[in-house]
Structure 1
Amino acid sequence: MKKLNQGIIGFFHKQPYTIVTTIDRDGSPHNSCKGIVDIEEKGLVYLLDVYKEKTYANLKENQNISITAVDEHKFMGYCLKGAASIVKEEDLHSRTIKSWEGKLTKRISERLLKNLKGEKGHPRHPEASLPKPEYLIAVEVKEIIDLTPHHIRHGDKKDT
């Protein structure tokens, strides 16, 4: 596993969702939005998957996965590549379950506040109707790719 520094952990915790890519049995990529439940410094990431459809089926056949998030305002992002496994609810630590419940409550609260302020958004609260997760996806990070453009990451120095 590849250790994650606090900057990367903090970056992913601030993202409302990530893009997760898995590979189907024909070798084609499948992308879906997933929420991060928890991230451990040792390089373990827990993702929520409530629908048990293509991502789940793909991971049963092929454990390769990538997790990508970008911050368009800071013009930065990361892609974490690794190996995934399915962890059933009864095998999860209570801390991980509480982390998901806390994030769900926060998302519903933020949506309510936006609606009260008259900001555009979904008129209902889809998070409140999500099915209870039966499992999480645990990802052992093997590679970290910094998506921040080189000239931003290293200042405006020109390559010579």
Structure 2
Amino acid sequence: MGSLNEELIEFIENNSCEVATVDEKGIPNVAPKGSLKAMDNETIVYADMYPGRTSENIKKNPEVAISVVNYQEMEGYEIKGKAELLDSGPIYDKVVEEVSKLPMDLPKPEYAVKVKVKKVINHTPGPNAGKELQ
């Protein structure tokens, strides 16, 4: 299993991200997602307010890749993991609560998407680019 250290958790929670999935025919989909939070050092969760291809793909193939990037600092990481769609329970309730605190008028999330981290790959330019974080 991949592991998230404190620095990486802070990075994930404070930068933009895109979630990549594939459908049953192998056709990729990439969608921007906000609200990424680390539940612990092996699990990420985000709110899915506008379910579409991403959630449909996860239902058929739960393997995802999440790209998190800070373009100003030229720093980024790819997180590979297995996603699970939650539409009830304590994790879902916590995500709904967090979204309701945001200073914008957003719909109630259809899902909380829980991602169990399998590996983290460094995408920051330099000698460690492309290497898996341990």
Give the TM-score, by structure 2 length. Answer: 0.84
Query: How much has 1:66 moved relative to structure 2?
Result: 0.8
Q: Which has the higher Rg, Structure 1 or Structure 2?
A: 1
| Alignment match, 1:143 | 119
Q: Looking at secondary structure, tell me which structure has more helix per residue.
A: 1
Q: 2:125 is aligned with what amino acid?
A: P
Q: How many residue pairs are counted as aligned between the two chains? A: 129
1:59 equivalent to 2:58? Answer yes
Q: Which runs of 5+ in 1 are unaligned?
A: 109-127, 155-160
| Alignment match, 1:70 | 69
Counterpart Cα distance in 2 of 1:90 and 1:18 = 25
Query: How much has 1:93 moved relative to structure 2?
Result: 6.0
Calculate percent identity across the aligned residue pairs.
29
Query: What RMSD over aligned residues (CA atoms) do the two structures have, in Å?
Result: 2.0
| Alignment match, 2:3 | 3
| Alignment match, 2:35 | 36
Counterpart Cα distance in 1 of 2:64 and 2:35 = 14
CA deviations 1:48-97 (Å, max 9, x no partner) are 21122111110110000011111111111011000000111334265444
Q: 2:121 is aligned with what amino acid?
A: I
Kept in 1, the 8 Å contact 2:64–2:81? The answer is yes
Give the TM-score, by structure 1 length. Answer: 0.72
Counterpart Cα distance in 2 of 1:27 and 1:12 = 27
Q: Looking at secondary structure, tell me which structure has more strand per residue.
A: 2
SS in 1 for 2:9: helix
